[in-house]
Amino acid sequence: MSLDVAVDETGVARCAWADSDSEYRRYHDEEWGTPLHGDRALFEKMSLEGFQAGLSWITILRKRPRFREAFAGFEPEAIAQFGDDDIERLMADAGIVRNRAKILATISNARVVAEMAEGELDELMWSFAPPADARPRPRSFAEIPATTPESKAMSKVLLARGFRFVGPTTMYALMQSAGMVDDHVEGCWRAASGSSAAARGDLSPSSRRPAGA
């Protein structure tokens, strides 16, 4: 089996990056590559991907519950009302990533979303999702790009709309996470399950073990 796939003690094969931590396993199995819709959900994803820049994603996952508390459940309308006191409160909160530029960007981005029509952010972001068969399934991590023409186009449009911390690399990570692209490598049980199962929400690693496991 490829070094880019790891098999756990129960026989479930996953993308190897997810094998180092139980929270990574859960995230890989239940979230990464699963189609995500909704303005609030995608705004949260955008915000957390922005906070992740320069850090490991596991750090963000572990802090995500506190992020949600500190940022009013990532409701754009609520965050749009944050002022100086909220900024200082967030800068003093050790449970999140205390980066002033990223905090200010999240508030600014919330104000942009708050001015958009309901469903507009979802429609806009998903408009950049390529066809499911746009490229072959990656056989290794080396075949997975850092950016794509679609992530560059998404970044350009979002920047023009006034969003911040939405560079093409960050937006490609969002596209992977939100299921706009499926980068589970060959041999991973999620790759065998297919995106249609992810969309239905009936993914089950225990029922997708490799033959003979």
**Is 49 a known active-site residue?**
yes
Which residue in the list 17, 31, 57, 143 is annotated as catalytic? 57
Q: Verify whether residue 172 is a known catalytic residue.
A: no
CB 190 within 8 Å of CB 203: yes
Six token digits for residue 53: 């820049």
Q: Is 28 annotated as a binding residue?
A: yes
* 17, 27, 143, 186: the active-site residue: 27
Catalytic site residue from 24, 32, 44, 49? 49
Q: How far apart are CA 74 and CA 33, in angstroms?
A: 21
Q: Is 188 annotated as a binding residue?
A: yes
Annotated binding residues for Zn(2+), written as ranges, equal: 15, 28, 184, 188
Kindly list the catalytic residues: 27, 49, 57
